Amino acid sequence: MRILVLLFISFATFGQDIFNYENSRKYGDYLLKSGQFELAGKEFERLVYFAPDNDTLKTNLLRAYRLSNQTSLGIAKLPVLYNNPSKVPFSSALEYAKLQMQNQSWSAARDFWNQNENFSADDKVLLNVTSDIFNNNFKEARTTLALIKSTDNELGVGYKSILEKETHKKSPGLAALMSAVVPGSGKAYSKNWKDGIVSLFFTAGMAFQSYRSFNKFGVNNHRGWIYGGIGLGFYLGNIYGGVKSTKDFNRKKINALQHEASALFNTYY
Q: Give 206-265 as a DSSP string.
A: HHHHHHHHHHHH-TT-HHHHHHHHHHHHHHHHHHHHHHHHHHHHHHHHHHHHHHHHHHHH
- Closest by Cα among 84, 145, 147, 144 to 116: 84
What pLDDT does residue 129 have? 97
Give the tens place of pLDDT for each residue, 145-198.
Answer: 999 999 899 999 999 999 999 988 888 999 899 888 888 888 888 888 888 888
What pLDDT does residue 13 have? 42
What are the sequence ranges of the domains in the chain? 23-115, 120-168, 172-258
Under the banding of pLDDT at 50, 70 and 90, the label for residue 74 is: very high
On the question of pLDDT at 242 being above 80, the answer is: yes
Query: Do residues 51 and 36 lie in contact, with contact meaning Cβ atoms separated by under 8 Å?
Result: no
Query: Do residues 250 and 170 lie in contact, with contact meaning Cβ atoms separated by under 8 Å?
Result: yes
Mean pLDDT of 74-86: 95
Give the tens place of pLDDT for each residue, 220-235.
Answer: 777 767 877 887 787 8
On the question of pLDDT at 53 being above 80, the answer is: yes
Q: Which fold has domain 23-115?
A: 1.25.40
Under the banding of pLDDT at 50, 70 and 90, the label for residue 19 is: low
Q: What is the mean pLDDT of the chain?
A: 87
Mean pLDDT of 188-211: 79
Angle at Cα 44 formed by Cα 41 and Cα 49, nearest 5°? 130
What pTM was computed for the model? 0.77
- Closest by Cα among 136, 134, 246 to 189: 246
pLDDT, greater one: 130 or 9: 130
Distance of alpha carbon 64 from the chain centroid: 20
